[in-house]
Structure formats: C-alpha cells, structure tokens
Amino acid sequence: MKPVSEPRIQSVLWVLCFLAMLVHPSVMSASAGITQDNGDLYLSCRADNDCVLSSTPIGEEQVSDQTFATLVQPEVITFEFLMDPAQDHIALVPEVLEELEIDFKHQTEAGSLFRPAMELRLVVGSSVNDWSFEASTLPEFTAQTYRLENEPLDLSDGRVLWDDEPVRLVFTVTIDRPGTWSLNMRGPSFLRLDVPWSIDPEAIDVDEPSSSTQPVLTDFEDIHQGALIGADTDCWAFEVETHEVLRLLVEWVLVPVEIEQPHSIPDLITAAGRLSPTPDVVVDDDGEALRMTYRWRALPTGDYTLCFYGSQDKIQPYSWIGTFGYESMGPTDPTGFNSSSFYPQGAALVGELDEPLALTNQGYGMLLFSLLAFVAFIAFAWQPTTALVVRYGLFVPGVLMLFVGGIVHPIWAISDEVQHPDEITIEDLLDMRLQQLWDVSAEGVPERTVYTHTGATWGMLDGERLKLKLDIEKAIPMNDGRWQLVVTDLATLRLDQAIFGQVSEGAEQQPQTGMLENQAVRFILLAGRSLLLDLLMLEAMLVVDEPPMSSVFHIDVEMVSAPASGSVGAPAWATRPATVDANDWVRLQAALFPDRISVSLCDCDLDLLDVTFQPSSGFDSADIPPSWGVDGATGLTPYGGAVMFGGIMLGVAATATEVRRKAKAAELAQQYAVPSAQLWD
C-alpha cells in the first residue's frame, strides 16, 4: 500500500484538532453573570435590604417612601445592588457601558416633579466608575430617568473580570424637598454591558485530575483536550513507538492577552526521568488560534510523560495530538518556508496603477535659472528709457512675477521639503514600533500595557502626535478624483530582516541554539502581525485631493483612542487620527481588515519567518476617509511655475520692445544726421 505523505498527515491532524475545538465544552457551555442574556442586568429588590442585579426582572415592582427633607436638612438615600447569581465565568469587561437607566422619581407635596441629585458608582471587578447627575432647579412636566449611554469604562486596573469578583451598582440620591420618592424596577431600571468574551473555567478543565504525580494515561495519537488554569501542571502518559520523526501538534484557544498562558515548550520526560532534547518548533498565529508544532527525531521507544506548565492568574484551553512518522518534508522543515518575507505592497492600493504620476522634489534648477534671469532683467532696467508704458506695463510686472514665482516660491518649496526637527521618517517609525513591541513583550509587563501598545495604530497611543515626513516617487489616480500616494520603498521592505534585527539588538543571545526564549517568540509574533497591519493602514490612508506638486509630504496629526479591530487576543488599529471621523474610521477598519492573516515562526536549523495574509475583498476608495492631514510641499503657490514663466515672457516682451524702439530711434537719428553733414560741404 502506498504510504501517506507527512504533509498530508499534518493537514489531517490539524483539521481534527480544529474540529475537536468546535465541540469543546468552553464553546458549548452556558454563560452566567454579566455574560448572560447579552449582559442585561435588572435592578431588583426581593425584600428590604435585599436588592440585586439579576438577569431577569424579579421581586418588587416599586420601592417608595415619604420624605420630609428640606434645603437645610436634606435627606440622603443610598441603594446598593449586588449581582446575583455571582459571576462564575471569566469575562472581558467591555470598553464602554452600553446603557444604564434608573427610573427614580420624586414628587413634592404640591404635586410637582423634581429630579434630585444623584451620585452613581459601578464596580465591575477591578473597574470602578463614578458618574454624577445634578438636581433639577425647576419642576418638570414629565419625570426624567437617570440615563447613561455608551459611557467609557475605566480599565486602567485591568479589563478581566475573574470568577467570584463583584459586580456592584451603588447610587446615592440627595433629596432637599418634602414629598414622595419612588424607584421603579422589574424592567424600567437596568444596565446593559456588551461583554465581548467569556469562558467557564470549570467546563474547560476536562483534563483533571492530571499532574506530574498523576498523569493521564492515553494514546499519543488520540485527540486530547485540556486547559491550563493558573499555575497548573497538566501531564499525559503514553508509549512512544518506533519512529523516525515524532510530532506533537498543540492548538491554543484564543483568549485575551491578559490571561494568555506563556506557551513554553512542554517537557517530554522518559520513564527514567530524563528530559528529551529540545525539539524543532514552528509557531503559527492567525489571530484566531495559536498553533505550535514540535518535532523530535528518533527518540528511544518506551514510556514517556508530556507535561504542560501554567502561570498564576492565567487561563487558556488547548488541544493536542501526536503522530509517529518517517523523515520527510513537514511543517517544521525550514525548506517549507520562503527564504525572505517581504511586505506585500499593493494590497491597500485602489488607484489606477497603470497611470502613475511621477513626482520629483523642487530642486535648484528653477531657482538658479530664475536668479540668472532676474539679474539680467535688473541689469537691463538700469538703462535709461522714456517708454513708461513698456517699463511699468510690461517690465515691472514681469520682474515681480519672476521674483515671486521663480525665486520666492522655489525657496519656500525647498524649505518645506526639508525634514522638520521633530519629524520622523518611515524608517524611524518602523524602528520605534519594533522597539516598542520588544519592550512590551518582556516578561513582567502588565498585560493591559501589552494590549494597549500592540493595538495602537503605528504605535501611537492616545494623546500622542504623529509627525511624519514621506518621500513619494509616484501617485496614482482614483476613480473619485483623488490621488493615492505610493511608497515605493515598501516593496523592498523585508519584515523578517527587520524583526530578527530587533531581536539581535534588543536581547542578548541565548547560550542554546534557537529562538524560543519567551520574549523573543512573543515579540516575533506580535511584530509580524502589527507591522503588516500598520503598513496596510498607512498605505490605504495616503490619499490627497489634488494632483501632487512635489514628492515630499508631511503628516502632523494627534492620535485619539478608537475601538480596536481584530480579536480580543490580537487587537489592531485601536487609535485613530483626531482628524478622521469616528464613524469613517470604523467603516475603514471593517473594510480594510484582511480576511486572513498568519504569522509563522520556524525555530529549526535556521530561524525563519513567514507573514502572509489574504487581503479584504470589499475594500475600495469609498472606504477611505476624506482629507485628514497628508499635506504636500507646494511652496508659496501651487502655480509657481506658471507665474515664473509668465514673468519671463513679460520681461522678454518688454526687452524686445525696448530693443526694437531703440533700433528705430537710432535709425531715425542716422537718417537725420546724414543730410545735416552734407549742408557744410
């Protein structure tokens, strides 16, 4: 029988792993707490001093009482609602409070409706948020509720809500008039949190009990599921059969970066307690799952134990499968990688590439020619003349136009093309971005910091200013009349060279071969994805309204926060230029984000990197925002050349007219001079 090739076996095994994840308990488990029913929580009171936030309206319909408060002696009423049942999932706190409404009314003894002042606090795990509502000074015709919508939440202390952490709503009402107050519940008072992600730790921990002292007995070639919860140790025992190549395929389910496990190489331990040699490793990250392939060659047969190790305050489910095979080209063979990984320029270009407009800088030719012409005209101007019409009608306007269009305009344009002291180039931007990603990928950096920096567009955080100088060689016309700038240097940009160069600069070389030191691997995966998305966004947004007059452009914009694209574990484009409308930015994100993006690292005989993606098929010129801050070096006027040419034409015309006038005068003088001389003969 013909043997099945190793690459085909690998593909089949990955498909089996993927199907196993589809039926994983973490996918099928029901949500609880703020993740239930789309995060809708209703203010409910089952009894006095027993008020809760519940997923369904329960308890009393209204709580009310009389008050005898006055301006001198106001009455303060405090309500506290604790979520019940308690949170039993690990959830990701959203960036905004989608909606909150409290139906609290106060009617005075005279029958007037007033809205008292309210202080409100919402606690979601480590996120604490406060809002204030001022009291109404005049009576209202209809009672107004206390309402918040799309309010940003403070996530500075973390955005992960762990199981058993509190979700609490506390508000205090200050009443300064006698009357009757009431709080309406069973639906009118509620809050809504659109939770983007959650997981049930009990449902995914299906490998238990498993530990270094109690490994799970299994067959190496079966599909296995498990989860590393905190500083957990998952161990599996099996028999290794005769083989040339032993492969272990591990797929980690995507989780937020704050709780992602470190993905260190699992230990493969012999029955004698010895650790197997370091394997070849391929890491593939497509933004949906992290797939790691380990390869050992010709291990001794016998009983082995495979152990995965977790870290405190981390959680991540996984699946794995093994295979015994024979030597052949597989996914961990370096020949399966390209020798170099270039940035795929052109994916975000929507103009007509066949009709480029070549661009050049201002240069000094026009200025030198204009200076020579100006000197010649000035020298000519010193000659006396009585033709005032020629002097002031042609010559003076021509000289002024030559001075403005041929001297002042080029000098202005040349100075505008010079790089400003606080500007950076694309090369500088890439270096800064790589250094930023290297710094945040270090061990011990808070995961919220990692999330914030990796998701920032071009590495620019909220409140930072992007000042960029661009040298553009050509522009292409778009179907809406605008022009898209093409950065030619991006076609020769090697992502792998830039990324591995940062690794060699930013970290000391490890004594062992390979690049599987935790920071290096994490940085390479982050950098490959982030650089591609950053350059894709820059390429798409380099659009100007008018035909460019120079090859030099400047960008000077302030960056502000924006909803991130991508996934919870791999955010992208989470900041935007302040000059771009928020809705335009969201539309651009949705249209531009690639259909698929994958970063693969091979820690084999050679360290190799592949960054590939499938561009979005729905991106076009209508998705690109209007002018947002890309300005060309146009000089004093966009018509400088025409003004200079017109000035020279006027000067030449004046000079020619004056030469002809003088020639005619000399001829007349000669005619009169000859007869006069003959009279004396």
Instruction: Determine the Cα–Cα distance for residues 98 and 153; give it in Å rounded to an integer.
Output: 10
Q: Are 45 and 160 in contact (CB under 8 A)?
A: no
Q: Which of 166-180, 299-313, 519-533 is predicted with the least confidence, judged by mean pLDDT?
A: 519-533
| Whether the predicted pLDDT of 669 surpasses 90 | no
33-198 shares the fold of 6-28+201-332: yes
CA–CA separation, 455 vs 195, rounded Å? 19
Q: What b/e sequence results for 213-245 when a residue is b if at least 16 CB atoms lie within 10 Å of its CB, and e otherwise?
A: eebbebebeebbbbbbbeebbbbbbbebeebeb
What is the tens place of the pLDDT at every residue in 470-492? 888 899 999 989 999 998 888 88
Q: What is the mean pLDDT of residues 588-610?
A: 83
CA-to-CA separations, 167 to 35, 261, 272, 377, in angstroms, rounded: 12, 26, 50, 83
**Which CATH code, of 2.60.120.380, 3.40.630.30, 3.40.50.970, 1.10.10.350, is assigned to 6-28+201-332?**
2.60.120.380
Q: Looking at residue 375, what is its pLDDT? A: 65
40-57 pLDDT, tens per residue?
Answer: 899 999 887 889 999 888
Residue 264: both structure tokens together: 């260190």
User: What mean pLDDT is reported for the chain?
Assistant: 80
Residues 552-581, mean pLDDT to the nearest whole number:
89
With bands split at pLDDT 50, 70 and 90, how would you rate the model's confidence at 646? low
CA dist 132 and 433 (Å) reads: 39
For 183-223, the DSSP string reads: EE-SSSSEEE-----EE-HHHH-TT-S--SSSPEE--TTS-
Task: Write out pLDDT tens, residues 276-292.
Answer: 998 888 888 887 788 99
Are the C-beta atoms of 314 and 258 separated by less than 8 Å? no
| Percentage of the chain exceeding pLDDT 70 | 74
- Check pLDDT > 50 for residue 7: no
Rounded to an integer, what distance in angstroms lies between the CA atom of residue 517 and that of residue 81? 47
Domain assignments of the chain as residue spans, ordered by start: 6-28+201-332, 33-198, 367-413+637-678, 417-632
pLDDT of 27 over the 70 cut: no
The whole-number average pLDDT for the span 450-457 is 90
Q: Give me 135's structure tokens.
A: 């009291």
Range 75-88 burial, b when 16+ CB lie within 10 A, else e: bebebebebbeebe
Percent of residues, the chain, with pLDDT higher than 90:
31
DSSP 288-348: SEEEEEEEEESPPPEEEEEEEE--TT-EEEEEEEEEEE-SS--TTSGGGS-S--B--TTTT
Looking at domain 33-198, does it have CATH number 2.60.120? yes
